[in-house]
């Protein structure tokens, strides 16, 4: 019987670090010998749903399709990483209901930091009045109430963020490889490092 994979949903406003962290987690899982797919919402939308817009109904449909893909891939042993804003909580709650091994990762940074990063130029376009549908600015963004992982990406470096996700997967028993096997999976996060990061997050009010 195939051991199910996990579905890791990275949520946060644009430029909060979702795709960047997901990409490094993907690299780490592949290095560990895991089956993994990284479903970036923008790429999935472009290739499978190019006609979907950004109305509430279209966002609902897009997140439903992402959750469904996560469900069918994970039940066949694939760890699925989904980087998608998914601004409404019920989008993510639906995915959690469908995917037994669901991990919600909340990437967060102050508005000004996201605006400065702006890798896709969304905030610049918003400033010019070309678009008015950015979640967390023009449109609502409902923060997760009880995410498994909180990543203040303006406070933590990328390596630490990715290792925190891997550590949570191990803690939840979703990674069969737990170190000491020679595959490289024990190169990252130690218990001491995790304790330091958790203490720092408590100081910042994220835990």
List the one residue out of 136, 166, 135 whose CA is nearest residue 149.
166
How far is it, in rounded angstroms, from Cα 43 to Cα 93? 22
- Name the one residue in this structure whose structure tokens are 């970036």: 40
**Would you state the pLDDT for residue 54?**
80
The answer to whether residue 188 scores a pLDDT higher than 80 is no
How far is it, in rounded angstroms, from Cα 180 to Cα 186? 6
Mean pLDDT calculated for residue range 24-41: 95
The answer to whether residue 204 scores a pLDDT higher than 80 is no
**Would you state the pLDDT for residue 1?**
79
Q: Of 35-49, 135-149, 187-201, give the lowest mean pLDDT range.
A: 187-201
Confidence of residue 184 (pLDDT cuts 50, 70, 90): very low
pTM of the model: 0.86
Confidence of residue 187 (pLDDT cuts 50, 70, 90): very low
Tokens of 105: 């990762």
Strands (E), the chain: 7-11, 36-40, 79-83, 102-108, 149-152
How far is it, in rounded angstroms, from Cα 17 to Cα 98? 25
Mean pLDDT value across the chain:
89
Q: Which helix (H) or strand (E) holds 55?
A: none
Cα-to-chain-centroid distance, residue 15: 12
């Amino acid at each position: 019987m195939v051991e199910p994979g996990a579905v890791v949903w990275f949520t946060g406003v644009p430029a909060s670090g979702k795709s960047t962290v997901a990409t490094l987690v993907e690299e780490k899982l592949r290095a560990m010998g895991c089956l993994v797919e990284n479903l970036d919402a923008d790429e999935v939308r472009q290739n499978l749903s190019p006609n979907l817009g950004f109305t509430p109904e279209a966002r609902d449909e897009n997140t439903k399709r992402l959750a469904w893909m996560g469900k069918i891939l994970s039940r066949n042993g694939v760890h699925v990483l989904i980087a998608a804003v998914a601004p409404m909580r019920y989008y993510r709650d639906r995915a959690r209901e469908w995917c037994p091994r669901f991990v919600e990762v909340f990437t967060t940074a102050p508005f000004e930091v996201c605006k400065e990063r702006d890798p896709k130029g969304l905030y610049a376009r918003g400033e010019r009045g070309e678009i008015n549908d950015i979640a967390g600015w023009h449109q609502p963004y409902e923060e997760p109430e009880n995410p498994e992982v909180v990543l203040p990406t303006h406070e933590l470096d990328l390596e630490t963020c990715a290792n925190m996700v891997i550590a949570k997967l191990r803690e939840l028993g979703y990674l069969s490889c737990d170190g000491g096997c020679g595959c490289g999976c024990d190169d990252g996060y130690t218990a001491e490092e995790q304790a330091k990061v958790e203490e720092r997050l408590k100081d910042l009010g994220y835990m």
